[in-house]
Amino acid sequence: MITIKEMTSKKELKIFIKFPFKLYKNNNFWVPPIINDEVETFDKNINPVFKHAEALFFVAIKNNEVVGRVAAIINYTELNKQKVNKMRFGWFDFIDDIEVSKMLLKKVEEIGNQHHLEFMEGPVGFSNLDKVGVLTEGFNHIGTMITWYNYPYYKTHFEKLGFKVEKEYLENKFPFKNVISAPLQRVSKIIEERYSLIPLNFTKTKNIMPYVDKMFDLFNKSYAALPSFVPISEIEIAYFKKKYISFINPEYIKFVIDKDDNMVAFAITMPSFSKALQKAKGKLLPFGLFHLLKAKKESKDVIFYLIGVHPDYQNKGIHALIFNEYQKSFEKRGIINCIRTPELATNTKIAAVWKNFSPVTYKKRCTYRKDI
């Protein structure tokens, strides 16, 4: 017999968070999160996303053991301002038992019906800054700290339960040597002079902070046209600034401004923490923090997390300025591989940005939808 239980207390949420640690215990490609970070993400008193969203957390129990989990999410900005009547679900993991996945998704559907929503889609998070999608190809590649990993049977369960693919995402990578061989210096010089632009580089985090609000404002503008985009609120910006920006290597953040100090483009990259997180096993102490700091300093793989260009400057080659600055920074660090976060397969504009580096698609993932 399978029962579904809502997890509400801090102790119960840790059980919810720790389930994948058991499910993927012997998997070499799964990257565990830091448990306390996940607890904060789900804490309504800490994460400002709960100012305009709500989430319920459920586990499936069979023979007195947790065998699955799911978060049912409603984003009221999406509902009330964008008029998208969507029931979100994420953090969806389960054993290879169709009755388990069926009951968990049925619970999400029930909540959607209670709120008179039209369809459910997942796995997704609260916003576009969260993880997204079920992995459908590339199971033999290590995950990243900003993607979910899953077994191949997840896809089969969705199909058997009547879900259809809603969006497809591609994950690409290319060797850093492809950046070196591109004619970035010459092109970026032309772009700088033509539009009177100034690329900004940093060596200290404190010098980045005055620009972060402008960056997120530009993020909202540059990503607005993408499907399912939900703007980041001011209170969320303050939260992300405090929690994440200070941990990113300053030289891994690049901005481009115009002569009036308006932000034209930005990019955030970070070292790959995948192997460090595997060694940390979900804990910062006693040795997890050491592994993360070591990776921050020594990792030869870099993740391109966010990149955005103001709509007025898109299709004008502005990315060349950013890549030229990264070329100089990454050469000093001996970077070997450049890895991109999941990007919509239909986003031809972003594909055009990377084409000169001859990227290879090594993973695919998608979200699934079902009317309710």
Alpha helices (H) in 24-167, listed in sequence order? 35-41, 76, 98-114, 153-160
pTM (predicted TM-score) = 0.93
Write the pLDDT tens digit of every residue in 115-127.
999 999 999 999 8
The DSSP letter of residue 124 is B
pLDDT score, position 251:
95
Identify the structural domains of the chain with CATH numbers, from first to last: 2-171 (3.40.630.30), 174-358 (3.40.630.30)
**Neighbouring C-beta atoms of residue 245, cutoff 10 Å:** 16
- Residue % of the chain over a pLDDT of 90: 85
**What are the DSSP calls for 228-270, one per residue?**
T--PPPHHHHHHHHHHTGGGS-GGGEEEEEETTS-EEEEEEEE
- pLDDT tens by residue, 198-248: 999 999 999 999 999 999 999 999 888 777 778 888 888 888 888 888 889
Of 107, 124, 36, the closest CA to residue 69 belongs to: 107
